[in-house]
Every structure is written in structure tokens, then in C-alpha cells.
Structure 1
Amino acid sequence: MSTYIIVITLVGLAALSMAWVPALLKRTFVSYPMVFMLVGMLVYLLPFNLPQPDPIWREEYVVRLTELIVIISLMGSGLKIRRKVSWKNWQVPIRLISITMLLCIASLALLGWGILGLTAAGAILLGAVLAPTDPVLAEQVQVGPPDEKEEDDVRFSLTAEAGLNDGMAFPFTWLAVVIAVAASAEGTSWLGEWLWRDVLYRVVAGFGMGYLLGRILAYLIFQLPRKSKFPKAEDAFLALSATLVSYGLTELVHGYGFIAVFVTAMTLSAYEPDDKYHTEMHDFVTQVEQILMVILLLLFGGSLIQGLLNYLTWSGALVGLLFLFVIRPLAGLMGMIGVKMPIHEKMAISFFGIRGIGSFFYLSFALDKINFVDAEELWSVVGFIVMVSIIIHGFTATKAMGYLDRRRKTKLIPKQEDRIK
């Protein structure tokens, strides 16, 4: 039997099931990333001659596949953001991508160096790849489509954080790379170049290109057809095209394309916010994202069976659990000190820093640039943390969000005695 035919059949069945699985699982406490990760594990236990996912993933194809999924997810996340940019509206996400993320990177780097015995570059890389909240696997805790008007603080904060920190973690990934390069080339001066190029220029270029391209696209889509006979855009695939153009042009000028894609989407969503075309674009990119995500989750499940965790030690597992259950929640709460928000909402934001596809991208990206001596252990620790995050956050997200929604509605409904008065 042809391996190719088996593969496309399995992928087709998995993608087909996405038409019903998310809706069916809304009635349960199980998330669909959990289901497809488990399916991937089961499929690779069957006696099919399937392409074997490299236990220590081959960086080149992982970089490209994860890169594509993340940028498509960032476009979808940006299109559903509806809050105007101001310090009052955005202070929680800004605190999460600055204070919280830096605390997570520093804590993991110290644990990686002190407990796991990683090199300085490897320890920094561990912190950098695991600090960002993932935009791909966090749908359960994100805001709804553009036509869904309600946008609570918890979902907004996690959506905005996932959109922004996938680009803001890039300077620290590059820091790990340049330190590894400097270690193999004595006498290399790297700090000034890193600060100027990887921290300042690339971040500014990402925001600038994203805003510029967003304005241009908004003009072409919404304004120009009203002012002239320029044809009105009606095909939702334009969102995917905009994703690739924004990412590609920004990378060509050596900016951070992740930031640019999210800012492009946000800029687009700010124009004609009630236009149904925003929802159509969002729905299209979300469907493409889900198909690609299913493929990667199947491969991830298969890699767990094939030996991705072979280099995981007890200390590595302990560091992973410590990060998910202690470091990220505490760092999140510390980042929100002084913010006027109910403590149960702060705790939800701090806990649901879901790790996933973005971590795979950053790790494979760095390993594609230079060989890290800790590569095998890094893959195993990151794979373990993503696996546990999918399971723990998958089991708890629906119940937690439902509880927060009930608390919020109860607070909005006046008590009976207050209504009588």
C-alpha cells in the first residue's frame, strides 16, 4: 500500500473531523489539541509505513511548518482584537510581554544553567523559546471572532499577549544564537550589534512595517472602492495573502515579521470595525490554521512515540513542571501588580500562558542557525513542557473560562433587593 496515499488519507480524515470536533468538545472539558496529539500517538503505533518524525526534529522542515502556522494564527488573532490602543486598554498585555516575559526568561535560564547544566547559550535559548504564550493552541482562552462584540479582560489580555510576545521573544532567541556564535569564535564583539540590530532595529521595523502595510491594505479594501470605481475586495483569502505579504516584506528589510503580521491585522481591524469582511477574513485564516495545526499535532504525537523525550531527565521534567505551575503564574501576577482587576481574573491570565507551536518554531529556528551542544536535551524539555501544557490547559480551560463568564454575568445582574429599591 502506498505510504503517500495513507498519509493524505489520514491527514484528510483529521482535517475533515475539524468540522465537528471543536463543536462537540465544547460540551466537554477536553480540548481538540489534546485529541489530535493523542491521535498522532495512536497512528504511529499502528503498523503503517508512515514517514517517521525525527525524534530530535529536523530543523529545516519544522522551521517552515511552524513558521507558517504561527504567522497565520497571528493574522487571525489580530483581526479579532477590537480594543483601541491606549495604556488603559493595553497595560495588562504590555506588562505581560515585558515584566512577565523577562521574569520567565531569566528564571528558566537560571534553572537551565544551574540545575540542568546547560551552556549559557542553551539556558538562554530555553528561556526564550518557552517564554511566549502560544497563539495557535490557545483558542479556548482567546476572544471570539470579530462579529462577537463581548471581549472580556481575561480573553483580551491572553489574545493580545500571544499576538505580541511571539515577536518580542525573538531578540532573546537571537541573543542565545549570538552567544553561541561568540563562544565558538573568541574575541567576537556581539553585545552592541545585538542591542542595535536584534533589539532596536528589528522590533521597530516590525511595528513600522506592520502599521504601514495595514494602512495600505485598509485603504485598498475599505476606502478606495468608496472613492472610485476600484473593485471591492470580496474574497476572504485576501487575509492569507496579506499575512504572507506582511511577513515577507518585513523579513526582507530584516524586521520581525511576527510583529508585523499581528500589527497589520490589528490595523486592518480598526477600519470599518462593523464590516462583515473582517469576520470573513478571520474565518478563512482560522480554517487554514486549523488544517496546518492538525498536521503538526499528528507529527508531534508521533514524535513523542518515536523518541522526542528520550533525552528528558528527571531534573528536566521537574524544571518543566516548576515553570508551568509556579514560575509562569507567579511572573504573571508580579507583572500585574497595581492593575485594578479581580484577583481570580489575574490568576486566570497568569495560569493560562499556554506553550505550543511557537516554542517549536523558536527552538528549530535557533538550531538551524548554529549547532547547540544541548540540542537534544532542549528538544526533550521543550517537547515535555508543550505536551503537559496541552494536557493541563486543555483540561482546565473550558471550565475556567465558563466559571469566569458566570462570575462576570452575576456581577452585571443586580441583586433582587437592589432592583426592588
Structure 2
Amino acid sequence: MHHSILLLILLAAFAATALAGRLIDRTPLTLPMIFAALGLLLATPINDLAQPHQLSAATRLLAEITLIVVLFADASHIRFSRFRHMWQKPARMLIIGLPLTVGLGTLVAYLVAPGAGIAMAVLTAAVLTPTDAALAQSVVENDDLPVALRQTIVVESGLNDGLVLPFVLLGALLVSSTSGHEGTDGLAIQSLWQVVLAPVIGGVVGAGMARLSDAAQTRGFARKAAGGIVFLSTAFGAYLLSETLGGNGFIAAFVAGMTFGNLFADDMGFVADFMDDIGILLTMSAFVIFGAVLLPQAFDHVTAPVFLLAVLFLTIVRIVPIYLSLLGSDTHPRERLFLGWAGPRGLASILFTLIITDEFDLPGEAELLACVSMTVGLSILFHGVTAHPLARWAAVSR
């Protein structure tokens, strides 16, 4: 297929979904479902565009950009005044639920595939623990769901990818050590330092940009259309500064968004406007590449244990730890089950896997990537179809 024809097909799909957006909202379909399927249909011509390592690098870059934008935008809607009264639920899910998820996931992965070893089981559990902010959009934007539950999902999906990083690096350290590879010294301390430093950098960048933006608006220096530029500058500035200084860029972007959203005195409508345009385009593009590049690789290496792991990680491994972590809180059993289910896997899991396989020479890389891609593919389908019905079901408890 000629490159121009391929580009025209993608542009036509982008335009069609934009024009039929409200119609799509009335169906069980979601944008990630549509564009992952489109990517799978166009897998052959897209994979002919470049070498596999080039496509892998492009996939990683696009996933990073999309995740930074979504994390910052979602966090900018969190209000400290409300969060003071609802911090317990996301804190329980992150402090209790996340380690339990990694622990149960490690046990399940080892029982399903004991031949891969306990080290690979730890790594598999770690990369499949973080939830995805982009895939959670259909739930977060659902007005049927109480604000407290929506903000709980946003906070958890925004912070859990950074908090799970020590487990990811621990798994990589164990796999590398058992396979005789060098260069893993100091990873544990480095990962902890990333988690500690990132919120500080994100808070400083977010607060500084909010104050500068307010001053520019008050004195009439800034044009009205400058909001999108400020949005991108703050999000990517926090990410890049944190990565440069040794922090986790995604946590920094999330905290910067939360700080900016609470301190910026003017209207924050430009964030929603940006996400309705460029943000959706980035998300659609990311899932096209996922469907074209990663899903075919998953199908090539999928086995019964890989498929079973994907199903278990989306259900028991996620729901049981989250349900247990919320026992004793002011949540209804329906809400605990819903919060356990409302943890789609997506860009964060893909990114962690690509980063780890790029930086370490690990045995079983193809099987790990297949497991992650299969889990994300099933998550796009199942979480997309059930988002609105289960949100209404959970809202009944309120």
C-alpha cells in the first residue's frame, strides 16, 4: 500500500470518529477499541514503513507523549478542597492494594508458568500492575458515577505507574542477575530516588508555571490562545526536568498537573479544549500503532498460559487486592468491586515492557511482550464494553 493511501485512510478514520463522536458514545464502542482494531487491519502496510526496531522506538515515543499529556490533563481536574475528604480510598489502593497486586500477580504468574522462574514472575506482575489513564477516560467522564469514585480512579491511575517502578526494576534486576547479565547494581536505590524526587519537581514546575501564567493574564501580556502552549510546556517541562535530575517523569507530570490546576486562578477550559482535539488525536494514534505493531507480535507468541495470565491479571489479580484494600472504608461492596474492575491496562504497561526490554537483555522477552500486549488488547475490549453499564451499576450504591 502506498504511504499516501495509508495516511489518507488514517485521516479519514480520525475525521469520521470526530464527526460521529456522539453517535459512538451511544454504542459499546470506544476510541481505543476502534483504533486498535484499525491498526490490526492495517498491520501489514504499517509494518512495511520501517524496520522493527524503528517501529518499536516510535511506539515507545508515541506512548510516552500520550501518557504525559493524559496524566497532566487528568490531574489538572483534581481539586485539593475535595481531595481532603476523599484521599483515603486512593491511598488505600496505592499503599495496600498495589503491593498486594504485585504479590498475588507474582504467585499467579509463577503457578501458571513455573518454567519461566520466580524472577520473571515478579517482572510480569510488576509491569501488569499499573492502570491506564487513557483507557479510563470513558469511566472518568461518566456523569453517572459519583465524583469521589471518578477522582479515586484518576489519582490511582496517575500515581500507580510511578509507585510500581521499584517493583519493575526489582524484577528486571532479578531476571538479569539470574541470567548472568551485569549492570544492575544500584537499581533499587535509583528507583526509590525517582519516586521521592519526582513529586517535588512536579510540584515546583506546576506551581511556578501557574503563578507565571496568572501574572501574564493579569497584566494582559498573554494572548487568549496561549493556554495550549502553557499546558504542553508545563507537562513536558516537568517530565523532562524530572528525568534529567533522576526522578520519574510520569509522576512529575501528574503532580505538576494537579498543582497547576489548583493554583491557576483563571479558567482552565483550555485543558479540556486541548484534550478534545490534540489529546484525542494522540490517543487514537497510540492505539493504532499498538494494534499494528504489538498485537500481531502477541498473536505470534500467544500460548494457553499467556492467554490465561492475561485474563487472570484483568480479573482476580486486580479485583481481590483492591477489594481487600478498601475493607473498613466508607465504600459499598459494589463500589469496591467496581474500583477493582476499573483498572484497565494500557500505555503504562506497554511502556514499562518496552523500556525494560530495551535496557536489559532478558530471556523470554518475546513471551513477556506477548503477555502484556494480550492483556492490554483484552483490556481495551472488556473495559471498553463494560465501562458505562458497570458505572451505572456502581452508582446505584449511592
User: Contact (CA 8 Å) 1:14, 1:294: kept in 2 or not?
Assistant: no
Deviation at 1:54, TM superposition (A): 8.0
Change (3 A) 1:325 1:231: closer
Report what 1:62 is aligned to.
59
Pairing partner for 1:174 from 139, 149, 169:
169
**1:398 alignment partner, one of 380, 388, 391:** 388
User: What amino acid is the match of 1:167?
Assistant: G
Question: How big is the shift at 1:32?
Answer: 2.1
1:416 — aligned with what?
none
**Residue correspondence of structure 1 range 117-196 to structure 2 within 5 A:** 117-143=115-141, 152-183=147-178, 190=185, 193-196=186-189
Matched, 1:258 2:250: yes
CA distance in 2 between partners of 1:187 and 1:139 (Å): 40
CA distance in 1, matches of 2:243, 2:129: 22
Mapped pair 1:369 → 2:369: no
Q: Which residue of 2 aligns with 1:235?
A: 226
- After superposition, give the CA deviation of every residue in 1:178-221 in whole Å (9 maximum; x if it has no partner): 3334345589884xx3443211x211110100111111011101
1:134-162 deviation per Cα after TM superposition (whole angstroms, max 9, x unaligned): 01111111157xxx9x9622211111111
- Please say if residues 113 and 119 of structure 1, whose CA atoms lie closer than 8 Å, have aligned partners that are also in contact: yes
**Cα deviations across residues 302-332 of structure 1 (Å, max 9, x unaligned)?**
3467442222211221122122121211111
**Partner letter of residue 59 of structure 2?**
V
Distance 1:61 1:209 in 2: 27
Specify which of 179, 188, 191 is matched with residue 198 of structure 1.
Answer: 191
DSSP-derived class of the 2:226 partner:
coil
- Code of the residue aligned with 1:7 in structure 2: it is L
Q: By how many angstroms is 1:11 displaced? A: 2.5
Distance 1:4 1:188 in 2: 41
Distance 1:49 1:99 in 2: 42
Q: How many residues align?
A: 395
State the alpha-carbon separation in 1 of the partners of residues 269 and 341 from structure 2: 29
1:280 paired with 2:270, answer yes
What's the TM-score, normalizing by structure 2?
A: 0.90
- Report the CA distance shift for 1:327/1:70 in structure 2 as closer, same or farther (over 3 A): same
Q: 1:313 to 1:52 in 2, by over 3 A?
A: farther
Report if aligned partners of 1:59, 1:365 keep a CA contact under 8 Å in 2.
Answer: no
Given the alignment, which residue of 48, 51, 54 partners 2:48? 51
Q: 2:101 aligns with which of 79, 100, 104?
A: 104
| Counterpart-to-counterpart distance in 1, 2:165 and 2:347 | 14
Distance in 2 separating the partners of 1:229 and 1:211 = 26
Q: Deviations over 1:355-386 (max 9, x none)?
A: 11111101001001112111111111111111
8 A Cα contact 1:81 1:269, kept in partner = yes
Amino acid at match of 1:40: G
Moved more, 282-291 or 246-255: 282-291
Greater Rg by CA: 1
1:344 pairs with 2:334: yes
For 1:156, what is the secondary structure of its paired residue? helix
Q: Distance in 2 between matches of 1:300 and 1:222?
A: 39
Measured in 2, the distance between the counterparts of 1:241 and 1:184 equals: 42
| 2:176–2:184 CA contact under 8 A, matched in 1 | no
Helix, strand or coil at the partner of 1:89 = coil
Q: 2: CA distance between counterparts of 1:241 and 1:263? A: 14
| 8 Å contact from structure 1 (residues 107, 327) kept in 2 | yes
Aligned to 1:216: 208
Q: Taking structure 1 as reference, are residues 49 and 178 closer, same or farther at Cα in structure 2, changes over 3 Å only?
A: closer
Q: Is the 8 A contact 1:164 1:259 kept in 2?
A: yes
Is it true that 1:73 corresponds to 2:70 in the alignment?
Answer: yes
Q: Label 1:60 to 1:302 Cα distance change in 2 as closer, same or farther (>3 A).
A: closer
How far residue 129 of structure 1 moved from its aligned partner, in angstroms, is: 1.2
1:329 aligns with 2:319: yes
TM-superposed deviation, 1:173: 1.8
Taking the aligned partners of 1:358 and 1:348, their CA distance within structure 2 comes to 21
Partner of 2:260: 268
**Corresponding residue number in structure 1 for 2:303:** 313
Q: Aligned-pair distance for 1:272? A: 4.5
How far is 1:301 from its partner?
2.3
Which runs of 5 or more structure 2 residues have no equivalent in the other structure?
A: none
C-alpha deviation, 1:243, in angstroms? 1.3
Structure with the larger helix share = 2
Q: Describe the shift of the 1:338–1:184 C-alpha distance in structure 2 as closer, same or farther (beyond 3 A).
A: same
Q: Which residue of 1 aligns with 2:87?
A: 90
Q: Percent identity?
A: 26
Q: In the alignment, which residue of structure 2 is the partner of 1:358? A: 348
Offset from partner CA, 1:326-360 (integer Å, 9 cap, x none): 12111110111111122212211111111111111
Which aligned runs of 4 or more in structure 1 are off by greater than 6 angstroms? 52-57, 186-189
Secondary structure of the equivalent of 2:241? Answer: helix
The 1:404–1:337 alpha-carbon spacing in structure 2 relative to 1, beyond 3 Å, is closer
Residue 174 of structure 1 aligns to a residue whose secondary structure is: helix
